[in-house]
Structure 1
Amino acid sequence: MGITADDEFRRLYADNFIAILNYARRRVRQSDDAPDLVAETFLVAWRRRSEVPPGDHGRLWLYGVARLVLANHARGEQRRRRLGQRLRLEHREYPVTVDAGNVDVRDALARLAPNDREVLELTVWEQLTPTEIAVALGLSPEVVRTRLRRARTRLRSQLECHAPGPAGQELAVRAESELKGGKP
């Protein structure tokens, strides 16, 4: 039985993984990016395994592929940096106001589980309906309505626990009103 293209690829991978990983590590700003770049390099090699030259030329071919993968990565980083700079400038020009109504409400939101906080924030800050939230989160509207009802209850409980007495009850009523879209 002869050596298959898959066998050749396995050998190419085993013989060159460390060399390509070190190549990538020496060339990226963040060493955590190197394994992803190596994976992408070998993905290209897998897809084009019929084009990989035999023997030591295969290793050299991999260096060429890795170089192109790194160049794409560098261009992507540069695009992300430029986009970040542009967004920072726009943010200064058009500041986003986040008004959760009250510091106590914000603190109570921060104490909620991420899923509870998310449905409340999408409802209040983004002014999405449960049906729209369902689409955004990949859930059914019924599940979103249930989560929203439970999240409101948990928020009310948080507010009452951390500001007991009349002040806590007033905050809970105010938060409930704000979360339902009304004014306190």
Structure 2
Amino acid sequence: MSSVSARARFEETVRLVADPVRRYLWRRTDPATAEDVLAETLIVLWRRHDHMPAGTEAVAWAIGAARLQLANANRSQRRRDRLVAKITVLDPPAGAVAEHGEPVDEEVRITLAGLRTADAEVLRLWAWDELAPREIAVVLGTTVNAATVRLHRARRRFEDAWRKTHPVSGHIETEEGNEP
């Protein structure tokens, strides 16, 4: 089949299946995802056009392809959601606890945002991803010694930045008296 007739056949298939596939997707996901999945489905149709049935069966075949593409998009979204959840949970530094005992994640994130990008990254690898210096070295493509030094310096810079926004009075509270 010539490229002109293959293109014409594909364009005719798109005219036939695009609206039914779009409606199928709109009923199952948000509009932006539906459009992205429709685009991915059309790519599949182009690649597999020789295997598509003709006529009205093409609509069912295209919806089947869209169903698989939507499943892929949903899996990707779940992975992104898990990653975001992982990133937003951070073990706060010692003493960085609100009055009611909950971690001050927002304050930690603000402090991290004020650091150099390289310092924030090494701290996230250490705290959020729970990587040891040897694993951080692999991620950063450096030596274990260099990763250890970078982590040490980043922790110092974080502590300094933290102290600037969360000063400690320097006084130790003690209870005096003759109580047993």
Q: TM-score, normalised by structure 1?
A: 0.53
Aligned-partner residue type, residue 48 of structure 1: R
Match in the other structure for 2:177: none
1:58-110: CA deviations, max 9, x gaps?
A: xx3442233213544469859x99xx9xxxxxxxxxxx995542226855531
CA distance in 1, matches of 2:91, 2:166: 22
- How do 1:48-63 and structure 2 match up within 5 A? 48-53=48-53, 57=55, 60-63=56-59
Runs of 5+ unmatched residues, structure 1: 85-95, 168-184
- How do 1:5-154 and structure 2 match up within 5 A? 7-8=7-8, 11-12=11-12, 15=15, 18-20=18-20, 22-53=22-53, 57=55, 60-72=56-68, 73=70, 98=91, 100-103=93-96, 109-111=108-110, 112-113=112-113, 116-124=119-127, 127-135=130-138, 138-142=139-143, 144=147, 148-149=151-152, 151-154=154-157
Aligned-partner residue type, residue 36 of structure 1: D
SS at match of 2:28: coil
Structure (1/2) with the larger helix percentage: 1
CA distance in 2, matches of 1:131, 1:20: 53
Contact 1:24–1:37 (8 Å) recurs in 2? no
Runs of 5+ unmatched residues, structure 2: 82-88, 98-103, 171-180
Count of residue pairs brought into register by the alignment? 146
Aligned-partner residue type, residue 160 of structure 2: S
CA distance in 2, matches of 1:76, 1:109: 32
How far apart are residue 147 of structure 1 and its match? 5.1
